[in-house]
A = this chain, B = another copy of it.
Amino acid sequence: MKKFFDKHWKARIYKIIYHSDTPAGKLFDVVLLVVIIASILLVMLESVNSIDLEYHDLLNTAEWIITILFTIEYILRIVTNSSPKKYILSFYGIIDLLSTIPKYLSLFLVGSHSLIALRALRLMRVFRILKLARFMGESNNFIKALKASKVKISVFVSFVIILCVILGTVMYLIESGQESGFTSIPRSVYWAIVTLTTVGYGDIAPVTPLGQLIASMIMIIGYGIIAVPTGIVSAEFASQKNEFKKEEDLIPETKTCPECLTNDIRVEAKYCYVCGAEIA
């Protein structure tokens, strides 16, 4: 009797924590999201020196409360799950552990406290929660379109990286003697990426005329080839949209004539437009 009750209790908790199709499950998800966001804001505030100096005790207390909440959630997830190992070793299981443990570690190990920032990874649970909710359809289309253009995008990214390695090396040969920050090839490649992606920090910038000429070429290339991934994804989205519409357009709009077998008769037609036969 006791065992049955336990199992029942576990199953109920399991449903609340892992599913979100019940009111309690939805409430749990929302509360969890709020606590996660609060925990991240807390870590952020703590990292600002002036705030930490003034409100250290308050922030510390709040963090312990959240850590304990996360600990309870973690234990419940393990206890109620029929295959705890699978959860513990899963992507979200590891993140959940990593976002709980640093606070406990900070009691024994000085310096380990900053690891608490790993808690930001819990934000990824947002996708989990959203996935189970109303954005599901949208995300699915997203993922489908991205998957369809995966190979193309990989080719494009490899191309960009190889281009940056080659151009960064060339720039190192040209600018390395100057005071312009091209002190090593990795730094030059970093600069090439900063330039090609049109970010342009300006911490490293060419000073020789030849260097500026090549930099100009890199910029124009970067400005131009952004069109390639955009074109790929646009075509993918457009084609998906068309397909969806075509399916919608075709299926409900035609029926077949019983006499002449013309098969593209409108659903609202009473007579076949080829042979004039009456259609039920």
Contacts and interface: CB of A to CB of B under 8 A. Distances in A.
B153 A224 contact: yes
A233 to B, nearest CB: 4
Given A117-B173, A146-B228, 8 more contacts: A124-B162, A124-B166, A234-B234, A238-B238, A239-B245, A262-B268, A265-B273, A270-B273
A82 interface: no
Contact of A145 (B48, B220, B231): B231
Given A44-B185, A198-B223, A224-B153, A230 B234 contact: yes
9 contacts: A43-B185, A44-B186, A47-B186, A117-B172, A142-B155, A153-B224, A226-B230, A234-B234, A271-B276
Interface in A220-275: 220, 222-224, 226-242, 245, 262-275
Nearest to A195: B199
Contacts of A169: 43, 117-118, 120
A10 to B, nearest CB: 32
A94 interface: no
Interface residues of A, number: 106
A106 interface: no
Contact of A273 (B121, B145, B269): B269
Given A199-B198, A200-B201, A271 B274 contact: yes
Interface in A56-95: none
B222 A197 contact: yes
A157 interface: yes
